[in-house]
């Protein structure tokens, strides 16, 4: 059982941080790596040519272990929007087909898919739940029912980014495979904090920002791209992705071959020394803790809060669809969201409003004291 890991971070001691879903805090080990790397920049003479590739190869390798794929299937991207553009630029459209996404999908995915639909004369279907007692079940059923022979692609968050609702990714992946549709996930709100297996879920692409649940730096994302992308067109032509890149003496013997797999989709200047050194440390730490243990820690931590939500009718959906690291409050009409936000501010609680809901998120740096303060500050406005 993982214990609280607060001492590995440098969060202000007097705050209650429930906002990892917006931005994860920096690990002390990543901070030290960034400083080391910054100092190394003073003397480029100390940087061997291999140093342009080593950390990025490590990052691909560790990410591959986290999501169960080969390192060669990992691309380094600057943002989720970039990752989805690469993926969708290499996505065939069915005649009279459609694409599927979720109600209130994150804009980087939604906007990329909307553009693709217009360019390929496919209809964009946005799937939400019916009004029902069990939103999770209804939403999952609606997704599964909407996938058919005319579906070109399904693009969705691995858990809903606004409220953590879980989807039956295995069933959705199977249905996509059966009808010949591509299955693309935005893993930004779950990779690092809960287990995911791209093979088990038949995922064709898993695009992730690292600055939340992987404690990575802003502006470095990672993307699993299955072998269906091996012969595709990247957004740009970086010399770093060509097979002769590691031999700096012959870069102008222009080589038309890319490194095997998803490498061609990595953004130029991938080495990004300072940021990459931070990400190596944070991914190593997550691999050591293990996503399943982090999720169990969150589950145990929020038990009293879940009970509080149930007793006060604040619970959103049943256990099967509930993520323990990211959840929202089902606020009754008589509670003003502004009053709640004021109470949070007074108690130094950091959370986010997304849409009309309050999104809360926890991680291994949170402890039971944070949960007590959270409950008390909500009780004040009930
Ligand atoms: C689900 C999800 N995807 C992507 C992003 C970030 O997208 P981008 O990297 O394109 O800025 C966020 C940020 O909140 C997010 O919650």
- Is the CB–ligand 1 distance for residue 361 below 6 Å? no
Please choose, from the candidates 268, 267, 264, the residue with its C-alpha nearest in 3D space to the C-alpha of residue 256: 264
- Residue 209: CB within 6 Å of ligand 1? yes
The pLDDT of residue 189 is: 98
Residue 355 pLDDT exceeds 80: yes
Query: Which tokens hold the place of 258?
Result: 């890319």
Class of domain 44-288: alpha beta
Distance CA 114, CA 120 (A): 10
- CA 216 / ligand 1 centre spacing (Å): 13
The answer, yes or no, to whether any atom of ligand 1 lies below 6 A from the CB of 330, is no
- pLDDT of 333: 86
Q: Find out whether the beta carbon of 112 lies less than 6 Å from any atom of ligand 1.
A: no
Distance, CA of 245 to CA of 151 (rounded, Å)? 39
CB-count exposure of residue 102 (10 Å: 0-12, 13-18, 19+): buried
Nearest alpha carbon, ligand 1 atom 13: 22
pLDDT category at 316 given cuts 50, 70, 90 is confident
Residue in 80, 187, 359 to alter for ligand 1 test, most ligand atoms within 8 A of Cβ? 80
Domain 6-21+291-379 adopts which CATH fold?
3.90.1150
Most ligand 1 atoms within 8 A of CB, residue of 78, 209, 267 to mutate: 209
Contact 129, 138 (CB under 8 A): yes
Model confidence at 335, pLDDT cuts 50, 70, 90, reads: confident
pLDDT in tens, 250-264: 999 999 999 999 999
The answer to pTM > 0.75 is yes
105 lines ligand 1 (CB under 6 A): no
* Mean pLDDT, residues 36-58 taken together: 97
Q: Which two tokens stand for residue 98?
A: 């459609």
Q: What confidence score (pLDDT) does residue 293 get?
A: 98
Q: Are 221 and 82 in contact (CB under 8 A)?
A: yes
110-159: pLDDT as tens digits: 999 999 999 999 999 999 999 877 899 999 999 999 999 999 999 999 99
Nearest to 259 by CA among 282, 271, 242: 242
pLDDT (0 to 100) of residue 343:
96
Q: Could you identify the atom of ligand 1 that is nearest to the CA of residue 209? A: 9
State the distance from the centre of ligand 1 to the C-alpha of 68, rounded, in angstroms. Answer: 22
Nearest ligand 1 atom to alpha carbon 78: 9
Contact 189 CB / ligand 1 (< 6 Å): yes
Averaged pLDDT for residues 246-250:
96
Domain range annotation of the chain: 6-21+291-379, 44-288
Residue nearest to atom 14 of ligand 1 (CA): 22
């Amino acid at each position: 059982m993982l214990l609280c890991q607060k001492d590995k971070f440098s969060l202000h001691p007097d705050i209650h941080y429930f906002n990892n879903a917006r931005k994860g805090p920096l690990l002390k080990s990543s901070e030290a790596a960034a400083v080391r790397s910054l100092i190394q920049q003073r003397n480029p003479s100390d940087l061997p040519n291999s140093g342009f590739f080593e950390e990025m190869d490590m990052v691909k390798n560790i990410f591959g272990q986290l999501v169960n794929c080969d390192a060669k299937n990992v691309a380094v991207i600057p943002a989720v929007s970039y990752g989805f553009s690469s993926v969708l630029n290499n996505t065939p459209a069915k005649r009279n087909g459609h694409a599927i996404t979720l109600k209130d999908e994150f804009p980087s995915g939604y906007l990329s898919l909307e553009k693709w639909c217009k360019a390929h004369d496919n209809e964009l279907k946005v799937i939400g739940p019916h009004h029902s007692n069990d939103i999770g079940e209804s939403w999952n059923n609606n997704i599964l029912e909407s996938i058919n022979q005319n579906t070109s692609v399904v693009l969705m968050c691995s858990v809903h980014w606004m409220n953590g609702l879980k989807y039956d990714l295995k069933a959705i992946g199977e249905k996509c495979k059966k009808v010949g549709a591509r299955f693309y996930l935005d893993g930004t709100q779950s990779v690092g904090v809960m287990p995911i297996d791209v093979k088990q879920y038949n995922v064709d692409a898993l695009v992730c920002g690292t600055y939340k649940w992987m404690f990575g730096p802003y502006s470095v994302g990672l993307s699993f791209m299955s072998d269906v992308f091996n012969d595709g067109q990247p957004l740009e032509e970086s010399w770093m992705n060509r097979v002769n890149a590691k031999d700096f003496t012959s870069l102008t013997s222009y080589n038309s071959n890319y490194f095997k797999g998803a490498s061609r989709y990595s953004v130029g200047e991938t080495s990004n020394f300072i940021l990459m050194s931070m990400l190596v440390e944070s991914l190593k730490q997550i691999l050591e803790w293990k996503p399943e243990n982090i999720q169990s820690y969150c589950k145990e931590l929020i038990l009293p809060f879940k009970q509080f939500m149930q007793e006060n009718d604040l619970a959103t959906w049943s256990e099967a669809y509930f993520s323990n690291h990211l959840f929202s409050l089902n606020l009754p009409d008589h509670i003003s969201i502004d009053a709640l936000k004021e109470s949070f501010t007074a108690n130094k609680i950091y959370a986010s409003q997304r849409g009309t809901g309050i999104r809360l998120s926890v991680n291994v740096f949170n402890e039971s004291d944070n949960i007590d303060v959270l409950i008390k500050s909500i009780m004040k406005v009930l």
